[in-house]
Amino acid sequence: MRVEKHLSRVIDRDGAAHLTLIDPARQRPEIAGQIASDAATAGSDGIMVGGSTRAGGRPLDQTVRAVKEATSLPVILFPASEVDISGHADAIFFMSMLNSADPYFITGAQRLGAPLVKRFGLEALPMAYLVVEPGGAAGRVGRARLIPRDEPELAVAYALAAQYFGMRFVYLEAGSGAKMPVTVEMVKAVRKAIDVTLIVGGGIKTPKAAAERVKAGANIIVTGTLVERSANRVAKIREIVEAIKSSGGAWRTRCRRSP
């Protein structure tokens, strides 16, 4: 429970947390290490490693190791399949895309990957992964039945199902590089319905967009594209982190309450 406790403590302390997503398919391991180090300097609370393309095996291991060497932040795997599991990470989002049309993404990859998670002794963080329009590569690869942007009630129904299943994290994903992040209305509606930790990511590029979603009830904001592309990476991440930390609070006592 080390990583989950860390996230929980950060949320209690700061009102919300920020995670930096590094896709091992997008850069060499040493650059990934540099991104992680910059993220730590900027105040990010952890590193997620993963993406929609299978990067398993050596490239994944090397990326995770480079990140571990560059920073003491916890490293959480964000796998696209059972191939994307590395024993060098601290934890894994043990995720199920509840709105996929393909059982492989709901329980299939999970069945294949679970024995490896056990063998590596990875901390499993049970998470519902809900893909919202436009959904991007995550939606296409995962054969998502995309949740329409203007149907918060559908997101609420999935999120509640996740909580009743015992999942402790719900991730509202608009897709990496999405033009528009998940709406504030959807974040609010899901927040109102569930007590578990709410993660929001995909298309969050500005401090304002991050802050609005924290105010609406997100406990964790994920950014990926922003950190990969940014020339002035530390400053970019720092302004997002500062916006997140100065907007939180309203949900800090509620989010960790047992259902």
Maximum C-alpha span of the chain: 43
Applying CB under 6 A, does 44 fall inside the site for ligand 1GP? no
Q: What is the dihedral of CA 87, 92, 98, 101, to 10 degrees?
A: -30
Q: What distance in Å separates the CA atoms of residue 200 and residue 70, rounded to the nearest whole number?
A: 26
Binding residue for ligand 1GP, selected from 14, 224, 240, 247, defined by CB under 6 A: 224
For residue 127 the two structure tokens come to 């998470």
Applying CB under 6 A, does 223 fall inside the site for ligand 1GP? yes
Applying CB under 6 A, does 139 fall inside the site for ligand 1GP? no
Applying CB under 6 A, does 202 fall inside the site for ligand 1GP? yes
| Helix axis angle, 58-70 to 29-41, nearest 10° | 30
Binding residue for ligand 1GP, selected from 63, 176, 219, 247, defined by CB under 6 A: 176
Applying CB under 6 A, does 222 fall inside the site for ligand 1GP? yes
Show contacts with ligand 1GP in window 144-173 (CB under 6 A): 173
**Span near ligand 1GP by CB under 6 A; candidates 11-19, 79-87, 146-154, 220-228:** 220-228
Applying CB under 6 A, does 24 fall inside the site for ligand 1GP? no
Binding residue for ligand 1GP, selected from 29, 79, 139, 203, defined by CB under 6 A: 203
Question: What phi-psi label fits residue 67: left (phi over 0), alpha (psi between -120 and 50 degrees) or beta?
Answer: alpha
**Span near ligand 1GP by CB under 6 A; candidates 8-16, 150-158, 221-229, 248-256:** 221-229
Q: What distance in Å separates the CA atoms of residue 132 and residue 202, rounded to the nearest whole number?
A: 9
Q: What distance in Å separates the CA atoms of residue 120 and residue 240, rounded to the nearest whole number?
A: 33
Q: If we measure between CA atoms, which residue out of 200, 203, 201 comes closest to residue 180?
A: 203
Supply the minimum distance, in Å, between the C-beta of residue 186 and ligand 1GP: 14
Applying CB under 6 A, does 204 fall inside the site for ligand 1GP? yes
For residue 121 the two structure tokens come to 């002794």
Supply the minimum distance, in Å, between the C-beta of residue 176 and ligand 1GP: 4
Q: Which residue is nearest to ligand 1GP (CB)?
A: 201
Applying CB under 6 A, does 212 fall inside the site for ligand 1GP? no
**Span near ligand 1GP by CB under 6 A; candidates 11-19, 59-67, 183-191, 197-205:** 197-205
Rounded (to 5) percent helix, strand, coil in the chain: 45, 20, 35
Applying CB under 6 A, does 225 fall inside the site for ligand 1GP? yes
DSSP characters over 94-162? EEE-TTBSSHIIIIIHHHHHHHHHHHHTPEEEEEEEEEBTT-HHHHHHTTB-PBPTT-HHHHHHHHHHH
Supply the minimum distance, in Å, between the C-beta of residue 258 and ligand 1GP: 27
Name the site residues for ligand 1GP (rule: CB under 6 A).
21, 138, 173, 176-178, 201-204, 222-226
